[in-house]
Chains A and B, each alone.
Chain A
């Protein structure tokens, strides 16, 4: 089963608005990553947040992590049409000898110009 579940599954907003996506996971993690995927393309890494961090920023992106709730959120501020893509969270359990990142179900974001 998927480690990460994301909501909403789809999100449609106007250009300039903020977009928030949420990711919930089931087991303890070492770090959590967010990736973007444009239609028919590979994934692009956006940001990594470690389990001992609560918030991280990168340009217009803000990621929060709440390990007590096993959840993370990705906020994209001042969205642009070019932000239209699917966004996936990916969790690394960090168990010794366990080497695998599991992707969540994804949120499909549409930014309307």
Chain B
């Protein structure tokens, strides 16, 4: 089945130790998004790619970066995780930004110790 896959589902990292979360999709969608969601809050958009065009949200910390080497894969890099970065990280895809629904992966729960 076509889907959005996130690995790992659970990630534990140490304070300040770089971590990479991955997302892959078999939907061949143009757009891939990364959201951060803290407990009982709405998903907050960090950035998105429209094909290879990277779009960063103004309030996304510099600590967060992303790579999209091809249509199928997108990575979220957290260079120096702090305790405040512990959250669920959600990857989503869509065909056209804003005009169609987004398809979400199951998320990666990041714990920072």
Contacts and interface: CB of A to CB of B under 8 A. Distances in A.
A42 B42 CA distance: 12
Interface residues of B, number: 27
Contacts of A108: 40
Contact of B98 (A4, A92, A105): A92
B65 to A, nearest CB: 19
A42 B98 contact: no
A101 interface: yes
A45 to B, nearest CB: 4
B45 interface: yes
B34 interface: no
B103 A41 contact: no
A2 B42 contact: yes
Contact of A31 (B41, B90, B92, B99): B99
Interface of A: 2, 4, 30-31, 33, 40-45, 48, 88, 92-94, 99-106, 108
